[in-house]
Amino acid sequence: MAKTRHGVALARYETWEETGAPNPRTAEPSDLRLWIQKIVEVEGPIVADRLYSLLVRSSGGSRVTKPVRRVLNRALYRMQHQLDISEFASPVTNWPQRVVKLRGAPPVVVRERGPRDLYEIPLNEIAAVIEDLRRRRPLSRDESLMRDVLDVYDLVRMTSKTVDFLEAAFHLLEAE
C-alpha cells in the first residue's frame, strides 16, 4: 500500500503513459482492441471515459469526439470475452459510468487518485472508501463524510456536481 488517509489504505495508482496508438477514426478494430487491453492491464479497473481519453491522447488527438466514442464503444463491446464492464448511474453525464477491468481482476481496487479527476474514479471505488470511513466512525451522508472522501483523494472543492457524484456512490452502497 502506498499510503493511508483517514485510515483508508490506498494502493499506488499505476499510470499508463505510452504513445503511438493508432488514430481511432482510421484504425483497424483489432489494433484498437490491443491498445485498450494494454491500458486496462495497467490502469484497470478504469472508467471508460478515461480509457478513451488516454487512447486518443496517445494517438496524437486531444478530444474524444462522438464519432470516436462510437468506434471505441464498438471495440470495447467486442472485447466482452476478455473484459468485465460494469455500469453505474452517473449524475454527471447523460450516460452511465462504465468501469472496465480484466476478467478475473478484483472489481474494486482502492487507490490514490493519481492523475484522475474525481469523475474518472470508479463509483464503486468511491463507495468502498465511504464504506471504510463509515466503519471507522459511523456517519450519515453529511458534509463531513463527503469532505473526508475528498481528502482521501487529495481533493478540496465541494461543488454541487461533486455532491451529486458522491451521492451516486452512496446510492451504490444502499443498493448492495
Cβ–Cβ under 8 Å, residues 129 and 152: yes
Q: Where are the domains of the chain?
A: 113-175
State the virtual CA torsion across 172, 104, 86, 131 in degrees, nearest 10: 10
CA distance 10 to 88: 22
Backbone φ and ψ for 163, nearest 5 degrees, come out as: -60, -45
Q: What is the pLDDT of residue 140?
A: 58
Beta-carbon contacts of residue 61 (< 8 Å; ≥ 6 apart): 23, 24, 68
For 15, 76, 77, 97, the CA distances from 40, given in Å and listed in that order, are: 10, 11, 14, 16
Burial class (CB in 10 A: 0-12, 13-18, 19+), 133: buried
Q: What is the pLDDT of residue 45?
A: 98
Tell me the mean pLDDT per 10 residues along the chain, length 176.
84 94 93 96 97 97 95 94 92 83 96 96 96 80 86 94 92 82
Cβ–Cβ under 8 Å, residues 111 and 125: yes
Give the predicted TM-score (pTM) of the model: 0.92
3-class secondary structure per residue, 80-118: CCCEEEEEECCCCCCCCEEEEEECCCCCCCCECCCCCCH
- Cell reading at 45: 479497473
Beta-carbon contacts of residue 54 (< 8 Å; ≥ 6 apart): 16, 39, 43
Q: What is the pLDDT of residue 139?
A: 57
Beta-carbon contacts of residue 4 (< 8 Å; ≥ 6 apart): 10
- Cell reading at 105: 481482476
